[in-house]
Structures are given as structure tokens and as C-alpha cells.
Chains A and B, each alone.
Chain A
Amino acid sequence: MAAAGATGGTPPADGVPYAVELRGITKRFPGVVANRDIELRVRRGEVHAIVGENGAGKSTLMKTLYGMHRPDEGTILLDGRETTLRSPADAIAAGIGMVHQHFMLADNFTVLENIVLGSEPTRGGRLDRAEARRRIRDISERYALNLDPDVLVEDLGVGDRQRVEIAKVLYRGATTLILDEPTAVLVPQEVDELFGNLGELKREGLTVIFISHKLDEVRKVADSITVIRRGTTVGTADPKTTTARQLAELMVGSELPSPETRTSTVREAAVVQLTGLTVPSAVGRPAVDDVALTVREGEVVGIAGVEGNGQAELVEAIMGLRPLASGTVTFAGQDITGWSTRARREAGLGFIPEDRHRQGMLLEAPLWENRILGHQTRPPAVKGPFIDRRSARKDTERIMREYDVRAPGPDTLAHALSGGNQQKLIIGREMSAAPKLLIAAHPTRGVDVGAQSSIWELLKDARAEGMGILLISADLDELIGLSDTLHVMLRGRLVATLDPSSLTPDELGGHMTGAHDGSVGAA
């Protein structure tokens, strides 16, 4: 704590101005202060990590630095000069480049075309491919990016695409690179490659601002760390002398609620049984490959895995939203493999989708209509072929009361609610139908700590009442704490079944990456 607490107010020893210095940056949105008194000092030629929890204000800060909006207070100094950034174009001109977490590449263009897109070298009004190729090869060699300018982007893997994004920024002459959660989409080997590239950039004198919430990675790659909590910088740390625990404490600020459940409520009867479930994907190997799985009454079965390993497809297959290549789904003793989504829901399948905006809500509809969604064929929402508005409104009010959904009333539009309140409404809605099986995909994603613990309580209560729950999550504590049985999903297959009562998160993390490695945490 001592090491982390020593805020980095000292100027660089050599007297060279900071590459990036932010003083007292405050950014307000109506009703919320996203950033408050941000202090950030980044030396030229270092990898500087900014860590903080989801929603701590990292993205807002980076948008400020990339000119996507202007701060309400505070100053930005680049190489010691006060600078006003009105747009990303200003930022690019000032040598700041942004590598977004979600790649912004045109798949059907070549690497070269993607890199030059927007700042094409021309000769006589035509794209000067030779010049572009020369410059890209030059960048690729200098920073060991290993790019072939003439390959189509659609043929590239995730790691390569990220290097294309980096090259794109370098091509525009950036000397300070902002990488927003660059490792979120990478597998471990690719992460190592990326860190190698960052080393090259650093050696060439470029500055890297690295945003992350993965403390291990941060400590591996960063030269210095700034921690953000609740919109403000709470300290800087030296990765060499700070332990991950100290960083975590700085980031979270307090003890988090525990999702743990104690006594087992698992009963004999199986609610859902999957056998040989295989879901094809557009290319190559199946998205879900020969999965067998049973969820019993009163049991929480957790699925752990790095995102994109087939969890989403598995969920959609059980919900009947995705065609199967083979396999069967047995629900409460009936083969429901060929059933429609509606029939499945009517039979007692509840669904908390991973992306609530895409699959869980009608954002431009009032809450009471969202109460009906997914339950169009059951009371209290309907009477015969008609919508029962009064009952739907009344039941929405009940859900708002019982599940602590904070909103003015059932006629409020869904997009006026915060993420946590939207999620509680969805959970309340699904619970109200008393499903036999609840598929909960990332039930606490993007909700605040208070809502998180109340969602955990709800799931625990439901489990105690005999509901079967299939829990998909990326929060390892949530998985270990709530699950009675834990499966690990990797490349579409269930590769391990673990006992959560004797499992540590780093063991689980090892299983998830496929290369079990228990020594990661040794500091």
C-alpha cells in the first residue's frame, strides 16, 4: 500500500517534459461526473498502464485524451505544451493514436488498404500503392509487426488484426499510442506477442498508454501505473515494487461482496440434459462441439471460459435460437430439440441474456412492455389474444418494488434506466414466470456493486427453491461462489469439470486458457 500510495508528483529526473500530462481533468455528463480531478503523468518512451474497474472512468479519460470530447475543467499538456484537442483529428496531428478495443477494419480490404484508408498517399490522383507498401514494410520491420501488406484482413487472426490497427496508428505518425483493453480479445500467446511489440515501440522511443483491468498483465508490461477509481486517479504505483493485491485494493477501494453459497440444495431430478450438442459455425470447427451437460433442480451449473469459446452459442442453442448440427436437448423429461424458442419459454426456460440491449429489452418501449417481452403468451401479460395492459403495469410495479428497480414508473422508457436497473428488471421478469431452468449469461455484467450483490442473492434464493440455473460468467469469483458444479469451456468443448468448493480463481484461470499454470500469481 505504501508503494502504491506514493502519488507520482515528482518531475522526471532528466528534466524532459512529460509526453502526456493531465492536470485536474474533470468531465461531467448531465447528472454524473465521469472524471474528477484526474492527474496523469506519462514519460516519453514508457509503457504507462491505467487500471481501474469497469465503469471507473477509464474510457471517458481516454476519449478526452483522444479529442472525442472536451473536458469541463483541467488542462492537457503534450510534451510540456498546453494543448486543446477539439477532435480526434487534432489528437492525431498532435501525435496521439488510439487502438480501439473493437477493431475498426474493413474485412474485404487488404492490410495495405486498411492502413492507408483515410490518409492515402496519392500520385496523380490515384492511390500510390508502391509508396504505401514501402512505408508499411518500413513500419512493420522497425517495430517487428510482421505484416504482409497484401493479405486480406478477413484472412487474419485476432492478433494480426490488432497489429494492423497498431500499424494504422503508426502510419499516421503517432508517437503516443493509446491501447484500450488490448488484451481482452487475445489468447495468452498473442498477449505475449503484443507485449513484445510494445517493447519494440518503447525501444524506438514511442510512448504507450495501456488501459486494462488485468493486474497480472499490467505488472508484466508497464513501467508505471496509474489507478483510477470512481472517476478519479487514486494513486500511481511502480509495478516492480507493488503487489497485485495492493493494486487491487487501490482499484476497488473496499472489500467486495462475496457471491458464495454454502449448503447444497441440489436435488435428484434433472431439469435439463444436453447430449452430444454440436452447433456449427460459419467457418471451420463447430462453435459448440459435442457438449454433454446436466443441470438438476436446485443446482447452479457454471460455465467458465475465455469469451468466444462457444458459451454464447451454447446458450442460444439451448434457447432454440441457433440450429444444431447434432445432439439433443432434454428438458424436464421431454425432448425439446425441435421446439421453437417460444415453446421452450412456455415450458419453463428463463433467459437472462448476455447482451441485455440486444436480446433482453426493447429500449424504446416502456417498462411494462418490457415486462411482457418473452412472456407474451402467459398471464399476467395477456388475456386470450389481447395484451392485458393493466395487469402488465401492475406486475411491473411489483417487480420494480420487489427487485428494487429504480425508475419513475412502469411507463418509463427502458433506455432511461441504468444498466443495473435494466438488469434487475430482466431478472425480475424472468423470475416472475417461475422457470424450471434459468439461463443466466453474465448476470452481473456492467452493474454496480450494490446491484451485483442483490442479483447474487436473488440467484441463491431461486436455487434454494429448486430452480436449476445455468450460469455463464467471466467473473471467476461469481462462478466459484455460486456454482455447485463448474465446467470449463474451451474452443467449443467442455474440457474440465471442477469442484468449486476446492478451487481457487487462478486454478480456474489456468483451466480456462487450456494451459494450466498454477504459478502465475507468485509475486
Chain B
Amino acid sequence: MTALRRIGTSLAAPALAVVVALVITTLVILAIGQNPMTALQVLLDFGDTPAQQTQAIVVILNRAVPLFLAGLAVSVAFRMGLFNIGVEGQYRMATVVAAGVGAAVVLPAPLHILLIMVVAMAVGAIWAGIVAVLKVTRGVSEVISSIMLNFIALGTASWLLTGPLRGSEEGAAIITTTDIPESGRFPALNGLFDAIGLAQPRGQLFGFLIVAVVVGIVISVLLKRTRFGFDLRATGLSPSAATASGIDARAMVVKTMLISGAVAGLIGLPDLLGRTYHFGTEFTAGLGFLGIAVALLGRNSPLGIAFAALLFAFLDRAAVPLQFADIPASVVTIIQGTIVLSVVIANEIARQVSRRRAEHGTGQASAPAPDDGATGTGPAGTRIDARQEAGA
């Protein structure tokens, strides 16, 4: 009952936010003189043939996988009260190095993929670790250092791409790393469609989807069921209480950032191992920043982030078809932006409402509470006097 109600209230805020965002977007589309219903149709139109429809699903899932990983990376840090704005830089660094390493070696298939993943996670973790070390040793705000490291990461990734890891021909329009050989490519999941009796789509469904699901489950268990996760969440809820309970706050900052960075390192791999097989100037950018929005929308819970990633991917899919319908693709961005803003506001309102309800709901000691800690010396003074008089 209480669990049901809690789920209900936790869903109410995002649902309301989506509705508000749709209303605002409708107004925007009306303002630019287009028909909002057309836009809605485009959003919901997955195509006419079964193959087209499954293709739309593949596009959505393929986009959702990296978004999910990005949201997860951000949320791990969020849960401890750390703002890892540097996911963008972490995954770019991780992807370029992993692409380079993956192309340079030849190993049996599973090992090759595993090596690329480990390299990517390690690079992401190291890049995030710099932020952590700066924070615990020098007190540098993780927001500032991770933003700065984003710039450094972009520059370094470009240098690696044009310099040591360059694989494309001199003078080619698009600069890329050398392609990862067959053994390092992640097999597609298209067999799944046959298995459940759907039409084969044109494109390939990223096999990395499975890795993302596993990572999501691992992170979920880690946060909810383990001591480490408890320490992490406790630190996020109240650093002072966490420290008093014996949690080493500095070690937690380092560990959490390493985990966040390691997950961030995986963000680029679905594309790298499932489609492009190389890192290049046209490699998907901005996933780290979208991850912040996805984490916010998903309220930092792995399941919520999965839904948020799917919603964002669903909206992103419509970007091209919208242009065919003469509606600017930026409508999608507007919807996404307003959803996130509305969610942030709705979450805050929900939090205040539940807090106020709890504070006032239990009657005694809640209203006079401001007196409690504040007045200091307690009833001592009173009783001194009582005794004094008794003695006098």
C-alpha cells in the first residue's frame, strides 16, 4: 500500500512534467504557425510496413542505450551529491583511446571486446578520478574542474585523433581512427526480432543493449543493496551524518567518481562497437550533457533513467521526419528542454509537499520544534532556580 503510493507519487511528477512540456511545445508550434497535431502525428508515426516499424524501434533503442549509460554515469555521482558535469569529456576520452587500442590489437572476439570495454572504463575512470583527487586534496569544486576537464578532453581527443591514432588517409574530409577489426565488434541483436516474430529491420540493433541492461542492474543493486551503496546514498543525504556514522567522505568521493567515470567510459561504445567501428570527427557528441537531463528526468533511479532515455530517444527519432513535415527539428529539443525543466520544478514541489506533510502530519513536537535545538541550555535554568529557592 505505502509502496504503491510511493511509486504513484514518484511517477506523478515526471508525468505531469511531460504534460506541461507538451502544452508548452504545442504553444510554440502554434506560435511558428504550424499545426501541433501534425507534429504529434509525426512523433507517433513509426511507418507503414512492419520492417519500417521495427526499424523505428531499433533507432529508438540504439539511441536510448548511450543515453541510458550517460544518465547512469551522472546519477551515480548525483546520488552522493556530486555533480559530474564532466561525463562529456570522460566518454570522449574513453572512446578515442578505446578505438585506438581496439584497432591496434587482434584478439579472440570476446576478449577483444572485453579489452576495449576495460580500456574505455579505465580511461573514463581516470579522467573522472582527476576531478575527485582535486576535490579531496585541494577542495576544488567538482563542477568547475569537470567542466574545465571537458575542454581539455575535447582538445586532447582531437589531438589523439589527428595525431597518434589517426587512421584515415591524409587529406580525407572526415578524420577517423583505424577501424576496429571484426573480432572487436559487438554482434547485433537482430536475431531477437525473428525470435519474437517481428519483421527484420533495415538497421542493426546494438548488441551493447545487453551490456547496458547488465550495467543498469549492477548499479541498481550496488546502490540499493550493498553497504557501499548505503554509504554513498547516506553521504548524499547528509554528509555530516554520514561522517559521524564512520563513512570516510573523501574516500567516498574518489570511489564514486571512479564508478561514475567508468560508466561514462561505456557511453561511446554502443556506437563504436555496433556501427562506426572507429572514432572520428563525426562521432556522436553531447551525450554527456544529455545524460544530465536524462538523470534528472529519471530521478536518479536506474529504472527511471531507462524510461527517460527511451523517452528522449523516442523524441530524437522524430527529428528528421519532422523536417519532412516542415516543422523544425528543434521542436524536439524544445520538448526535451521543457520536460527537464518541468521535472526539476515538479520534483522540487513534490519534495516540499511530502516534507511539509510529514512535518505537520505527526502532531506533537513538530510545531514547537524550532525551540528545540535552538534554545540551548534546556530546562536546566529552570530547575537551578527551583533548587536555589528550596535552599534559600
Which A residues are closer than 8 A to B by beta carbons?
Answer: 29-32, 34, 53-60, 101-102, 181, 184-185, 213-216, 231, 243-245, 247-249, 251-252, 256, 306-307, 319, 321, 340-346, 351, 353, 355, 357-365, 369, 372-377, 382, 385-387, 389, 409, 411, 413, 415-421, 442, 444-448, 473-478, 504-506, 509, 520-523
B225/A386 in contact, CB under 8 A:
yes
- Bound CA span A351–B227, Å: 20
Total chain B interface residues with beta-carbon distance under 8 A = 59
B361/A30 in contact, CB under 8 A:
yes
- Bound CA span A342–B247, Å: 7
A248/B383 in contact, CB under 8 A:
yes
- Bound CA span A136–B249, Å: 46
Determine the residue in chain A with the shortest Cβ distance to B233.
A365
- Bound CA span A344–B225, Å: 24
Nearest 5 interchain pairs by C-beta: A521-B388, A446-B372, A342-B246, A245-B389, A418-B365
B371-388 vs A, Cβ < 8 Å mask (1 yes, 0 no): 111111111111111111
**176-229 of chain B: CB within 8 A of chain A:** 224-229
Known A32-B364, A102-B374, A477-B380; contact A244-B238, beta-carbon cutoff 8 A: no
Known A31-B363, A60-B367, A382-B227; contact A521-B385, beta-carbon cutoff 8 A: yes
- A341-B246, A373-B245 given; 4 more Cβ-contact pairs under 8 Å: A54-B375, A362-B234, A362-B238, A373-B242
- Bound CA span A59–B231, Å: 37
Determine the residue in chain A with the shortest Cβ distance to B384.
A505
A59/B385 in contact, CB under 8 A:
no
B227/A385 in contact, CB under 8 A:
yes
Min CB distance A475 to B, Å, is 4
Chain B residues near A413 (CB, 8 Å)?
358
B388/A506 in contact, CB under 8 A:
yes
Q: In the complex, which of the residues B233, B240, B366, B385 contacts A32, with contact meaning CB atoms closer than 8 Å?
A: B366
Known A181-B376, A184-B375, A184-B377; contact A505-B387, beta-carbon cutoff 8 A: yes
Chain B residues near A369 (CB, 8 Å)?
230, 234
B360/A29 in contact, CB under 8 A:
yes
In the assembled complex, B345 has its CB within 8 A of some CB on chain A: no
A364/B237 in contact, CB under 8 A:
yes
Min CB distance B253 to A, Å, is 15
Chain B residues near A505 (CB, 8 Å)?
380, 383-384, 387-388
Chain B residues near A213 (CB, 8 Å)?
375, 377, 379, 381-382
A387/B391 in contact, CB under 8 A:
no
Chain B residues near A256 (CB, 8 Å)?
379, 383
Chain A residues near B385 (CB, 8 Å)?
214-216, 244-245, 247-248, 521
Chain A residues near B229 (CB, 8 Å)?
387
A55/B227 in contact, CB under 8 A:
no
Determine the residue in chain B with the shortest Cβ distance to A216.
B385
Tell me the number of A-to-B contacts counted with CB atoms below 8 Å: 251
13 chain-A/chain-B pairs, Cβ below 8 angstroms: A31-B360, A59-B368, A213-B377, A244-B385, A245-B390, A247-B385, A248-B383, A344-B246, A345-B245, A359-B240, A382-B227, A411-B2, A411-B3
Chain A residues near B382 (CB, 8 Å)?
53, 213-215, 248, 251-252
Min CB distance A515 to B, Å, is 15
- Bound CA span A105–B227, Å: 42
Chain A residues near B348 (CB, 8 Å)?
none
- Bound CA span A374–B237, Å: 14
Chain B residues near A185 (CB, 8 Å)?
376
A418/B386 in contact, CB under 8 A:
no
- Bound CA span A173–B373, Å: 31
B375/A181 in contact, CB under 8 A:
yes
Min CB distance A503 to B, Å, is 11
A442/B378 in contact, CB under 8 A:
yes
Determine the residue in chain A with the shortest Cβ distance to B6.
A411
Min CB distance A388 to B, Å, is 9
Q: In the complex, which of the residues B226, B240, B367 contacts A29, with contact meaning CB atoms closer than 8 Å?
A: B367
Determine the residue in chain A with the shortest Cβ distance to B377.
A474
Chain A residues near B389 (CB, 8 Å)?
243-245, 248, 521, 523
- Bound CA span A147–B366, Å: 39
- Bound CA span A376–B237, Å: 16
A101/B374 in contact, CB under 8 A:
yes
- Bound CA span A342–B240, Å: 14
A521/B366 in contact, CB under 8 A:
no
- Bound CA span A346–B355, Å: 33
B246/A476 in contact, CB under 8 A:
no
Known A54-B379, A386-B226; contact A29-B366, beta-carbon cutoff 8 A: yes
Q: In the complex, which of the residues B227, B231, B244 contacts A319, with contact meaning CB atoms closer than 8 Å?
A: B244
Chain A residues near B370 (CB, 8 Å)?
59
Chain B residues near A56 (CB, 8 Å)?
368, 371
A522/B392 in contact, CB under 8 A:
yes
A358/B367 in contact, CB under 8 A:
no
- Bound CA span A351–B243, Å: 12
Chain B residues near A359 (CB, 8 Å)?
240-241, 243-244
Chain B residues near A181 (CB, 8 Å)?
374-376
B230/A376 in contact, CB under 8 A:
yes
Determine the residue in chain B with the shortest Cβ distance to A413.
B358
A475/B379 in contact, CB under 8 A:
yes
A34/B383 in contact, CB under 8 A:
no
Determine the residue in chain B with the shortest Cβ distance to A521.
B388
Q: In the complex, which of the residues A361, A473, A520 contacts B388, with contact meaning CB atoms closer than 8 Å?
A: A520
Determine the residue in chain A with the shortest Cβ distance to B362.
A416
Q: In the complex, which of the residues A59, A343, A351 contacts B244, with contact meaning CB atoms closer than 8 Å?
A: A351
- Bound CA span A411–B3, Å: 9
In the assembled complex, B248 has its CB within 8 A of some CB on chain A: yes
- Bound CA span A442–B378, Å: 9
- Bound CA span A309–B384, Å: 20
Min CB distance A281 to B, Å, is 18
In the assembled complex, B369 has its CB within 8 A of some CB on chain A: yes
Determine the residue in chain B with the shortest Cβ distance to A417.
B362
Chain A residues near B245 (CB, 8 Å)?
341, 345, 373-376
Chain B residues near A307 (CB, 8 Å)?
376-377
**Residue among B226, B240, B368, B387 with the highest chain A CB neighbour number at 10 A:** B368
Min CB distance A203 to B, Å, is 27
- Bound CA span A386–B228, Å: 8
Min CB distance B222 to A, Å, is 10
A358/B246 in contact, CB under 8 A:
no
Known A215-B385, A377-B227; contact A32-B367, beta-carbon cutoff 8 A: yes
B360/A30 in contact, CB under 8 A:
yes
In the assembled complex, B45 has its CB within 8 A of some CB on chain A: no
Q: In the complex, which of the residues B246, B363, B365 contacts A340, with contact meaning CB atoms closer than 8 Å?
A: B246
- Bound CA span A506–B392, Å: 11
A55/B378 in contact, CB under 8 A:
no
Known A181-B375, A415-B358; contact A31-B381, beta-carbon cutoff 8 A: no
Known A418-B366, A474-B380; contact A54-B392, beta-carbon cutoff 8 A: no
